[in-house]
């Protein structure tokens, strides 16, 4: 993008976004602080259409952030603008970080991908399969790899009763519940997105490492990467920077305040269970650090966190030609990461072999190892029909490639 075009983007983005009317008469105001507003301009139509209230976008290379923007509102009611350090519930973007913890233990020889889950969690021994209305023995027990690839067949039910928060039971009790339920299909036979499977991985981390899952994640991943604003329990200061979740009202089309899943408040309460499948809160800067770790094949600022061969394994198709994998066409599954096999539609701006993960409220991180770029989009939209297939994601990645691509 040329200098004149970029300058025009700044001016037009300001004109478009400064007066975007939101519910309650609030106006969206763009924070341009020393930024070129390329993404603000690219996504202005999305904000005008009330697809989301505001966003933080980050484009990073292996050596550092290339561009970061914050625009729109983090809190519509208070007319509080989005900031570059705004805090988001990243939901299922927690999953690749949990997978990284499991793979650290695999590197140490303490866990094998082919290990049956029952080796670490005896409650899973003898788990039955529900087939044609009858309980039968599965062809084989579920393995660690099945959990990492969403092919375990575990129940998708919450361990807590309907209407109760999901973070009130320990991981041990959650897994006892999962183990007590019959498998839905033969392990390894099909892909079906499964939060209980990732929570089970968190419990395996606890059993194998001898420390709480959250402590392992903190000491082995978050602290070495300097992800100081990433936590399961955001404190008052972090919650003061929180981007609130909004849902689009079906009748009016306006954004109305939503909920952050079924977590118990206050979110700062450390007695809440750290949910491996989706409990983390984070910022654009922190997620960019995790992306750089993966771009650099497991190394961050001279420190080795994962072996290159481990990163290669995590980001390689593990399911062959299995049909109906992931949430958009042309995808495959690695170990904790979704992989772009055939770029198309929402993934059109990514290279084949790109990998990443999204979250329930529209957050996205995608890493392109061919172009050596990673793209982070943070929004808090509660009822996207398919958060992985949002037009916001497609538009952002396209603009990011045009501006920062190689």
Structure tokens at 279: 């409990």
Structure tokens at 218: 């903190």
Q: How far apart are CA 56 and CA 61, in angstroms?
A: 17
194-206 pLDDT per residue, tens: 999 999 999 999 9
pLDDT confidence of residue 16:
39
- Mean per-residue pLDDT of the chain: 92
Q: Are residues 84 and 100 in the same domain?
A: no
Structure tokens at 315: 């980001």
41-89 pLDDT per residue, tens: 999 999 999 999 999 999 999 999 999 999 999 999 999 999 999 999 9
Contact 101, 200 (CB under 8 A): no
Q: Is residue 218 part of a domain?
A: no
Q: Are residues 188 and 115 in the same domain?
A: yes
Q: Are residues 50 and 122 in the same domain?
A: no
Q: Are residues 251 and 387 in the same domain?
A: yes
- pLDDT of residue 336 exceeding 80, the answer is yes
CA distances from 95 to 185, 296, 306, 336, 359 (A): 22, 19, 16, 6, 9
Mean pLDDT of all residues in 162-185: 96
pLDDT confidence of residue 36:
58
* Distance of alpha carbon 257 from the chain centroid: 21
361-402 pLDDT per residue, tens: 999 999 999 999 999 999 999 999 999 999 999 999 999 999
Q: How many Cβ atoms are within 10 Å of 161's Cβ, its own excluded?
A: 7
Q: Are residues 55 and 105 in the same domain?
A: no
Q: Are residues 200 and 322 in the same domain?
A: no
Number of domain units in the chain: 2
391-401 pLDDT per residue, tens: 999 999 999 99
Q: Are residues 361 and 247 in the same domain?
A: yes
Q: Are residues 114 and 202 in the same domain?
A: yes
Least confident of 250-259, 269-278, 341-350: 250-259
Q: How far apart are CA 213 and CA 206, in angstroms?
A: 5
Q: Is residue 182 part of a domain?
A: yes
Q: Is residue 245 part of a domain?
A: yes
Q: Is residue 363 part of a domain?
A: yes
Q: How many helices (H) and strands (E) does the chain have?
A: 13, 18
Residue 11's pLDDT band, with cuts at 50, 70 and 90, is very low
- pLDDT of residue 32 exceeding 60, the answer is no
Q: Are residues 255 and 348 in the same domain?
A: yes
Sheet of 364-368, strand order: 80-81, 64-75, 54-61, 373-378, 364-368, 355-358, 338-340, 331-333
Q: Are residues 134 and 151 in the same domain?
A: yes
Q: How far apart are CA 330 and CA 323, in angstroms?
A: 10
* Distance of alpha carbon 253 from the chain centroid: 26
- More confident: 261 or 191: 191
- pLDDT of residue 26 exceeding 50, the answer is no
Mean pLDDT of all residues in 125-131: 98
Q: Is residue 319 part of a domain?
A: yes
Q: How far apart are CA 325 and CA 338, in angstroms?
A: 9
Q: How far apart are CA 97 and CA 94, in angstroms?
A: 5
308-326 pLDDT per residue, tens: 999 999 999 999 999 999 9
Q: Are residues 267 and 398 in the same domain?
A: yes
Residue 31's pLDDT band, with cuts at 50, 70 and 90, is very low
Q: Is residue 114 part of a domain?
A: yes
Q: Is residue 226 part of a domain?
A: no
CATH number of domain containing 356: 3.40.710.10
Structural domain containing residue 321 = 3-90+233-271+280-404
Q: Is residue 239 part of a domain?
A: yes
Q: How far apart are CA 320 and CA 113, in angstroms?
A: 16
Q: Are residues 284 and 382 in the same domain?
A: yes
């Amino acid at each position: 993008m040329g200098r004149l075009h970029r300058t025009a983007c700044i001016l037009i983005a300001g004109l478009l976004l400064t007066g975007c009317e939101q519910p309650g008469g609030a106006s969206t105001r763009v924070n341009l602080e020393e930024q070129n507003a390329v993404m603000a301009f690219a996504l202005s139509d999305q904000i005008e259409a009330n697809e989301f209230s505001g966003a933080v976008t980050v484009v990073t290379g292996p050596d550092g952030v290339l561009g970061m923007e914050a625009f729109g509102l983090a809190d519509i009611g208070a007319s509080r603008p989005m900031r570059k350090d705004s805090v988001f519930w990243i939901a299922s973007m927690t999953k690749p970080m949990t997978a990284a913890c499991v793979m650290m233990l695999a590197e140490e020889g303490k866990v094998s991908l082919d290990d049956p889950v029952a080796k670490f969690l005896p409650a899973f021994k003898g788990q039955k399969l529900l087939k044609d209305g009858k309980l039968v023995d599965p062809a084989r027990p579920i393995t660690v790899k099945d959990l990492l690839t969403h092919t375990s067949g575990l129940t998708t039910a919450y361990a807590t009763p309907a209407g109760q928060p999901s973070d009130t039971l320990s991981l041990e009790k959650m897994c006892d519940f999962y183990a007590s339920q019959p498998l839905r299909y033969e392990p390894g036979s099909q892909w079906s997105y499964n939060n209980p499977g990732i929570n089970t991985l968190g419990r395996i981390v606890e059993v194998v490492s001898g420390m709480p899952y959250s402590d392992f994640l903190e000491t082995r991943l978050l602290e070495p990467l300097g992800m100081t604003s990433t936590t399961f329990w955001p404190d008052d200061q972090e919650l003061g920077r929180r981007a609130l979740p909004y849902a689009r009202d079906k009748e009016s089309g306006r954004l109305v305040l939503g909920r952050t899943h079924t977590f118990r408040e206050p979110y700062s309460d450390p007695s809440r269970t750290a949910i491996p499948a989706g409990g983390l809160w984070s910022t654009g800067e922190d997620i960019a650090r995790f992306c750089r770790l993966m771009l650099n094949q497991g190394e961050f600022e001279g420190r080795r966190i994962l072996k290159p061969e481990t990163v290669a394994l995590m980001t390689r198709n593990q399911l062959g030609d299995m049909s109906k994998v992931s949430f958009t066409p042309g995808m495959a599954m690695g170990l904790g990461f979704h992989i772009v096999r055939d770029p198309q539609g929402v993934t059109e701006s990514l290279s084949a072999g790109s990998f990443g993960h999204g979250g329930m409220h529209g957050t996205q991180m995608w890493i392109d190892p061919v172009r050596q770029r990673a793209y982070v989009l943070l929004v808090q939209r509660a009822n996207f029909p398919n958060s992985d297939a949002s037009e916001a994601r497609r538009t952002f990645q396209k603009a990011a490639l045009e501006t920062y691509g190689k």
